[in-house]
Structures are given as structure tokens and as C-alpha cells.
Amino acid sequence: MSGEEGLCLFEPAGRSFKLLLKVLKVYAVEKSPYQEIIFAELDGFGKALIIDNFIQSTEADEALYHELLVHPAMVLHPKPSRVLIIGGGEGATLREVLKHNTVKEAVMVDIDPVVVEFSKKYLEHMHQGSFNDPRSRVFIMDGLKYVAEAPDKYFDVAIMDLTDPYAGEAAKPLYSEGFYRSVKRILGDNGVLVTQAGSSYFYTSEYDYVAGNIRRVFKYMAEYNIWIPSFGLNVNFIIASDTLDPRSITPGDFDKRLMERGVKTRFINGGRYNGLLMLGVLKPLH
């Protein structure tokens, strides 16, 4: 929208809560058969990727999201060698996965080729060359189809960097019990799954749907969340495994594994991960 303050982004953060952000500059706009993609600069948040008027990542706080999505699952596994990413078009999740020197192959699957090419062209500050890493393999296809066709017990870690479970009917199958059972099939004996799960505060029933499906599929599960300023809401993450308890790793072991693998982070460490687990799930109090 525009007005006395110039161009603004009016983002629906929750059903009854909207976020208004000032747009300082629009660098590029493209459309795909799936969505509209914008690269812009936002007042207070810097360069940002915006898809269908929803902020996906900003310079100021993308590390909060991507580090919390990736590193707890990677650290929980004793030696993650093969990693699957469903979604993650801007390449920042891939960037964080490749920080671990144990990784020999990182497969990223995204349905929209326009987002991937747009990100390669304009968002180097986010992907930091991760698409060109020899360990990376990028497939443009439906994540459901890729998982259905992948071999048994191939991956050590599966990371779901998806649109929110309430974003539309197209996203919902990727949060279903059946899909999690398919992912479990392609995970090795110490396999770990992690997914972003939307906002438990603003979309409680949708979050409970995701958490319940994962709970029915995996023996161990842990939930954590953090407020993302540019999103205007809390983002939840769920980590699960059949053999590795996400609550079993100590802050010291967490930091030791990051150090041994040469991983440097801006936010997440063992103490913060442990603290987020202790906080539990944020939901309305009424």
C-alpha cells in the first residue's frame, strides 16, 4: 500500500493482527506460476525476500530462523553425512547445513524454479554461494514426489523449510502423518527430522495438527519456538527421531559438536537451545 509514508508492506501476521513495514527500495519483482517474488529493502530490517506479500527472510533476523531450523537437528545426529532439505528456495538453509564439515551431500528440493533462480541472481548475501558448493544437489520438483521416490534409509537428517501449514491446501500434505511416515522411511537408523511448524500462538489448531502427526510417527519429539521480529509472530520448530532424544544433548555437547565441525553461528548455541526447550510452546492464555 502507499500513503503519506510512501510505499509500505501490509502483512497479515495473524488472523486478527497485521504488520506494517516501510519499503525503502524495490530491487526486483518476478512472477512464477506459483507466486510473486520480490527483493526489497525494508526500513529497520534491510534487504528482504518477500513472497506473495509475506516476508520470507530479512538481513536483520534471518539467522534466528535458519540457525534454529538447521543446527539442533544437525547437532543431534552424531555424524550427518547426507541431508535433505524440502523447500528453502533462497538457499540460506542450505548455507547453514553446509557449515557442518561432516556433510558429504546436501539435497535441496523446491517446487518453484523461479524462486531458486531469483535467489541465485539477487540473494547472494543470503545463500553465500551455497548453490555452487560441490556437495549441493538441487532438484526442482514436488517434495512429496521426491520423498516418495527416494531410497530407503538414505538420509541422516531431513529439514522441512516449508510454507506455513495454514498457507493453503497445497502446503497441508507436507505436514500430514502420511508424509512424515514417508520421510521416516528414507531416514537412516539415527535419522532426525525437523520442520518449521508455523505459529502456535496465532494458529494454535494448525500447529497442534502438525505436532500430533509427528508425535504419532516418531518415538522422540521436542518443540521450541522464537519470536521473529520481521514476521511479527513466533515461529515454532519440531524436531523428532526414533532413536535420538532431542532433549538428551547437553549444552556442552551441543557447543562441542559445533566447534568440532567448524560451525560458526550468530545466535544459536547449546545454552540457548536448552533454554528454548525449557520454555515450551507459546499459546494464547485464554
Q: Which of 43, 52, 156, 161 is catalytic?
A: 161
SS3 147: helix
Q: What structural domains and CATH numbers belong to the chain?
A: 2-58 (2.30.140.10), 62-279 (3.40.50.150)
* Residue 1 confidence class, pLDDT cut points 50, 70, 90: very low
**pLDDT (0 to 100) of residue 3:** 47
Alpha helices in 218-263 (DSSP H): 251-260
The pTM for the full model equals 0.95
Residues 6+ away with beta carbon under 8 Å from 185: 152, 153
Q: Which residue's entry shows cell 537451545?
A: 273
Which of 26-40, 109-123, 162-176, 239-253 comes out lowest in average pLDDT?
Answer: 162-176
pLDDT at residue 178 tops 60: yes
Positions at the binding site for S-methyl-5'-thioadenosine: 35, 110, 142-143
Q: What is the full DSSP assignment across 176-201?
A: SHHHHHHHHHHEEEEEEEEEE---TT
Express each pLDDT in 82-130 by its tens digit: 999 999 999 999 999 999 999 999 999 999 999 999 999 999 999 999 9
**Residue 112: DSSP 8-state:** -
* Residue 168 confidence class, pLDDT cut points 50, 70, 90: low
Strand partners, 107: 84, 137
Q: Give the mean model confidence (pLDDT) for residues 71-79.
A: 98
Give me the percent of the chain exceeding a pLDDT of 90: 86
Q: Give the Cβ contact number of residue 146 at 10 Å.
A: 18
What's the mean per-residue pLDDT of the chain? Answer: 94
* Residue 18 confidence class, pLDDT cut points 50, 70, 90: confident
Strands, E assignment, 102-243: 105-110, 136-140, 155-161, 187-196, 220-228, 233-241
pLDDT at residue 170 tops 90: no
Whether 242 is catalytic: no
* Residue 164 confidence class, pLDDT cut points 50, 70, 90: confident
Positions at the binding site: 35, 66, 90, 110, 142-143
Q: Give the mean model confidence (pLDDT) for residues 122-144.
A: 96
Residue pair 199/165 in contact by the 8 Å Cβ criterion = no
pLDDT at residue 229 tops 70: yes
Q: Give the mean model confidence (pLDDT) for residues 238-263.
A: 98
Strand order in the sheet with 136-140: 136-140, 105-110, 82-87, 155-161, 187-196, 233-241, 220-228
d(CA 146, CA 264): 31
